[in-house]
Structure 1
Amino acid sequence: MTERRHDIDALRVFAFALLILYHVGMAYVAGWDFHLKSVHTAQWLQWPMIVLNRWRMPLLFMISGIAIGLARPQARPWRFALQRCGRLLPPLLFGMFVVVAVQAYCQGVSNGKVGPGLGNFLLRYWQVRPWPAGSFDGWEHGITWNHLWYLAYLLPYTVALMGLVSLSRLLRLPALPQMPTAVAVPALLLLPILWEAFCVLWVMPRHPPTHALVGDWFVHAESFPLFVLGYLLARRERFWAWAVRLRWITLGAAVLAIGTELAIRYLGIHMQPAQLGAMLAALPWETIEHSARAAYTWLALLTILGWARHRLNRPFRWLPYCTDAVFPWYILHQSLIIVVLYWLMPLHLNAWLEPALVIAATVIGCLALHEYAIGRVRWLRPLFGLRGRTQRSASKVDVMPMPS
C-alpha cells in the first residue's frame, strides 16, 4: 500500500507549474540553446533561469525516489519494476512518435532544413532514419525525445534501484542505522555537497550533459544518487523533522551560495582581471563558483523539502485533480509551447504580449486536452501515464512518482 504524502504530491504539482514557465523562458533567454527561439531574447533572463536550473531536475529525481520509497516495493521489487516500466514505456514511445514529433517539425521548418507539410514530415519521421544535419535536435537518430528524456532515465534508474533492493534482501543487509544527531546532521549537509562538487568540478568538464542516456555521465552521476537517496529517506521521519527544523538555516545558506555563484558570474562578465588586483585575480574563481553551485543545489533541495513538509502536508481540495493531471501536462506542455510560438512568431508581436500568449495558450491547451480527451478516453490514459480508467469512474488518484 502506497503511503500518501500530501506535501510530496503538492510539491510535484508546484514543480511542474514552474516547469512551464522555465521552458517558456528557454525560448526567450539569450545565449541558451532551445528547439525554437523567439526574436525577443533577453540576457537578463539568465539570472532567474540559473537560480531555477540548479535544482529543477535534481528535485524531480529526488521526488521520484521518495515516491517509490513511499510505495514500499521491498516485498516484490522486480514485480514493482515491471509494473513501473509498463507505465513509463508507453508514454515515452507515444511521446517520441507523436507528441514530440511536432516539436521536431516546427524546429526543422523554422531553420529551413525541413519542408512545410506536417503529414509528409510524420511519414518520414516515423521511418526513424537520419535527417539532414541540423534538422532538429536528434536528427542523427531520426527521432528525438526532447523534454521526455526524463522518462528514458527513470526506466533504468527504477530497474537499478530495484536491483539494489533485491541484492540487499539477498545478502540480508541491515537497514540504515540510526546515527547520532551530531553525526547525521553534518553528514546529510556535507556529503551530498561534496558529491555534487565532484560532479560539477570533475565529471561535468569531461562529460557535459547530453540527455542522450548513453554516455551522459554527469547527469547520471548527479541524478541517480539523488534518486536513491530520495528512496532511502522517504520514510525516515528524523530526516523530515530535521529538514523542517532547519528550513530557515538551509534557506539562508542556499541564498548565500547562489548569491556567490551569481556574483562571480557577474564580475566575470563585467570586470577585467586587472581591475581585481593581483591577489584577487590569482584566486581560483571558477572552482569557487562551481563549489558554490554544488552547495546551492543541495541546500535548495533541503530547503524546498523542509518548507514543503511544513506548509504543504495537508489534503488540499485541488490536490487530487492536479496530481492526476501532472503527468499528461508534463507530456504535452513543451510541444504546446513550441507549436504556439511557431504560430505566433510570424505575427511579430511585442516582447511582452508574445510570451504572455504562449503561457496562456499552453495552460489552456493542457487543461482542455487533459479534461476533455485524455481523462475521458480510456485508451488514451495509458499513453499519458494514467491508469486505464476514466475520471468519472476513478475512486482515488493513482499516478506515477514523477514527472519532470
Structure 2
Amino acid sequence: MTPATPIHQPNRRHDIDALRALAFLFVILYHVAMYYVADWPWHLKSPHAAEWLQWPMRVLNLWRMDLVFLISGVSLGFLARHQGTWGLLRSRGARLMLPLVFGMLVIVPYQAYAQGVANGLVAPGFGAFLLRYLSMAQPWPARAFDGAEFGITWNHLWYLPYLFVYTALVALTLPLWTSGAGQWVRRRFNGLRGWALLLLPVLPLVAWALLLAPHFPPTHNLVGDFYLHSIYFTVFLYGYWMGVDTGIWQALERLRRVSLMLAVAAIGAFIALRIGAEGSAPRWLLVALRNAYMWLAMAAILGHGHRYLNRPWPWLRWANESVYPWYVLHQTLIIVAVVWLAPLSLGPVLEPALILAATIGGCWLLTDGLVRRVRWLRPMFGLKLRRAAAQRQLASPDSLPPEPGWRSPSRRA
C-alpha cells in the first residue's frame, strides 16, 4: 500500500454534482415506494402494498444514505481547504439548521397531520392541528404520528442535524486532521489500491455493525442513534479524506467494473442466505456481506461517476440549485398527492405514476416558480442569496444534502 500524493483536482467536480442530483431522484422514487412496500412502517400505507417491493427496496436501502453522507464528506474536504473551524461552523450551520427549523415549522407539519388523521388520533382540520403543533402546549396521543412524543417532528429532514453534527465534529477537530498524524491517516487511506481499496474500508463498518447494531437500533432521533452514527460518520470521514486527492478517484475509476461485479456477487449471496438459510446463516457472515455490498456498491457508483459524469452537463447548474429545495419539499408533496389521489381508487399502476408525477411537478413548480425567486425564501431552503450566489466562485461542490450532501430518509430495513 503506497501512500498517495495528493494532487488537486480541477476546480469543479462535475461527477459529484451529478451524483448528488441523481441521488435525489432515487430519494423521491424511494419515498413514493415506501407508501407501497408491504410490512414496512411509513407515515401512510397503501391498500395496494406489495411484498415483492421489499427486496428491491432493501438492495437500494443498504447504500443510498451511506452514499449521501460520503458525498457530503467529499464536499467538506473541498470546503475545508478555504475555511477554518469557525467559518465552516458558521456557513454550514446557516445552510443546514435554518432549513431544518423552517422545514419543521412549515413543510413537515402536514405530514404529521395526515398521519394522525389516518391513524384516527388527530381530528380533521389542518388549521387547528397546526396551531396546536406549533404551540407544543398539549401532548399528542401516543403514536399519533412519528415524533408525537416530542410534540414536533423533523421526519425526512433528519439528515440535516446528522450532517451538521458530523461537520461540527470535523470542524472542531480540524487541527487534528491537518496535523502530521491526521495527514498520515489521510495519505494511508488515499493510498489504498486494488483489493485493499475494495476490502479494507469494509472492516470498520463490519465492526460497528457487529458491536453496536444489536444494542442501538436505528431511530433517526439523533440522540442515542449510535449504530447509525458509527456507520454514517465513518463513510463521511472516508469522503472527507478522499476530497481533493486525485489518485484514489483514478483507482476507483479503474476498479469500477470489478467493484460492480463484486457488489452484485455480495448482494446475491446475502439474499440467497437470507432466503435459503431460513435464519440459520451465521450473523457475522450476513453482516460482512451486507457491509461489503454497501461499500462495493458505493465504489462502483463513484468509479462510474468519475468516468462518465465528470463533465459540465447543461443541466448541472440548474440541478445544483434545485436539489436542496426538492429535498426539503418532496416528502410533503408525496403525502399531499397520496391524500388527494388515494380516494379515487386508481389502482396500483396509475396511482403511483400520478403520485410520482405530482411530486416531481410540485417540486419543480415551487422551486423554480417561488423558492429561487423570493429572496427571503432562498436561505430557508439552503440557497445562498442571489447576490452572493452570483459572486461566488466555488472551488468544489458545495453540498448538503442529498441527504448530497442532500439527502434523504430512512435506513436499513
TM-score norm. by structure 1 comes to: 0.91
The answer on 1:214 being equivalent to 2:223 is: yes
The answer on 1:248 being equivalent to 2:257 is: yes
2:84 corresponds in structure 1 to: 76
The answer on 1:307 being equivalent to 2:316 is: no
Q: How does 1:209-358 map to 2 (within 5 A)?
A: 209-268=218-277, 284-358=281-355
Q: How does 1:101-112 map to 2 (within 5 A)?
A: 101-112=109-120
1:27 corresponds in structure 2 to: 35
**Shift in Å at residue 5 of structure 1?**
0.4
Stretches of structure 1 that go unaligned for 5 or more consecutive residues are 274-280
SS of residue in 2 equivalent to 1:351: helix
Alpha-carbon separation, structure 2, partners of 1:246 and 1:343: 47
Q: 1:92 to 1:392 in 2, by over 3 A?
A: closer
| 1:341–1:358 contact (8 Å) kept in structure 2 | yes
| 1:74–1:165 contact (8 Å) kept in structure 2 | no
Aligned-residue identity in percent? 47
The answer on 1:97 being equivalent to 2:105 is: yes
Stretches of structure 2 that go unaligned for 5 or more consecutive residues are 1-7, 408-413
**Shift in Å at residue 342 of structure 1?**
1.5
SS of residue in 1 equivalent to 2:153: coil
1:48 corresponds in structure 2 to: 56
Q: 1:367 to 1:286 in 2, by over 3 A?
A: same
**Which amino acid in structure 1 is aligned with residue 165 of structure 2?**
P
SS of residue in 1 equivalent to 2:200: helix
Q: 1:193 to 1:168 in 2, by over 3 A?
A: closer
The answer on 1:379 being equivalent to 2:382 is: no
Alpha-carbon separation, structure 1, partners of 2:188 and 2:201: 17
**Shift in Å at residue 26 of structure 1?**
0.6
**Which amino acid in structure 2 is aligned with residue 260 of structure 1?**
A
**Shift in Å at residue 188 of structure 1?**
2.9
**Which amino acid in structure 1 is aligned with residue 356 of structure 2?**
I
Alpha-carbon separation, structure 1, partners of 2:363 and 2:256: 34
Q: After superposition, give the CA deviation of every residue in 1:258-288 in whole Å (9 maximum; x if it has no partner).
A: 111111222256xxx8xxxxxxx6xx44332
SS of residue in 2 equivalent to 1:31: coil
**Which amino acid in structure 2 is aligned with residue 338 of structure 1?**
I
**Which amino acid in structure 2 is aligned with residue 330 of structure 1?**
Y
2:365 corresponds in structure 1 to: 368
Alpha-carbon separation, structure 2, partners of 1:343 and 1:146: 21
**Which amino acid in structure 2 is aligned with residue 236 of structure 1?**
D
Q: After superposition, give the CA deviation of every residue in 1:18-62 in whole Å (9 maximum; x if it has no partner).
A: 110001111100111101111110000011101100000000000
Q: 1:168 to 1:391 in 2, by over 3 A?
A: closer
**Shift in Å at residue 81 of structure 1?**
1.7
2:410 corresponds in structure 1 to: none
Q: After superposition, give the CA deviation of every residue in 1:79-119 in whole Å (9 maximum; x if it has no partner).
A: 12211111111100011111011100110011110011111
Q: 1:364 to 1:400 in 2, by over 3 A?
A: same
Q: 1:285 to 1:323 in 2, by over 3 A?
A: same
| 1:386–1:399 contact (8 Å) kept in structure 2 | no
1:138 corresponds in structure 2 to: 147
Q: Give the number of aligned pairs.
A: 391
Q: CA RMSD in A?
A: 2.4
1:278 corresponds in structure 2 to: none
**Higher RCO by CA contacts (8 Å cutoff, separation 6 or greater):** 2
Choose which of 111, 115, 124 in structure 1 pairs with 2:123: 115
The answer on 1:197 being equivalent to 2:200 is: no
Q: 1:394 to 1:111 in 2, by over 3 A?
A: farther
**Which amino acid in structure 1 is aligned with residue 304 of structure 2?**
W
1:389 corresponds in structure 2 to: 386
The answer on 1:403 being equivalent to 2:411 is: no
**Which amino acid in structure 2 is aligned with residue 339 of structure 1?**
V
**Shift in Å at residue 392 of structure 1?**
10
TM-score norm. by structure 2 comes to: 0.89
**Which amino acid in structure 2 is aligned with residue 214 of structure 1?**
V
Q: After superposition, give the CA deviation of every residue in 1:347-385 in whole Å (9 maximum; x if it has no partner).
A: 222111111111000000000000110010000000000
**Shift in Å at residue 174 of structure 1?**
5.8
**Shift in Å at residue 179 of structure 1?**
5.2
| 1:201–1:290 contact (8 Å) kept in structure 2 | yes
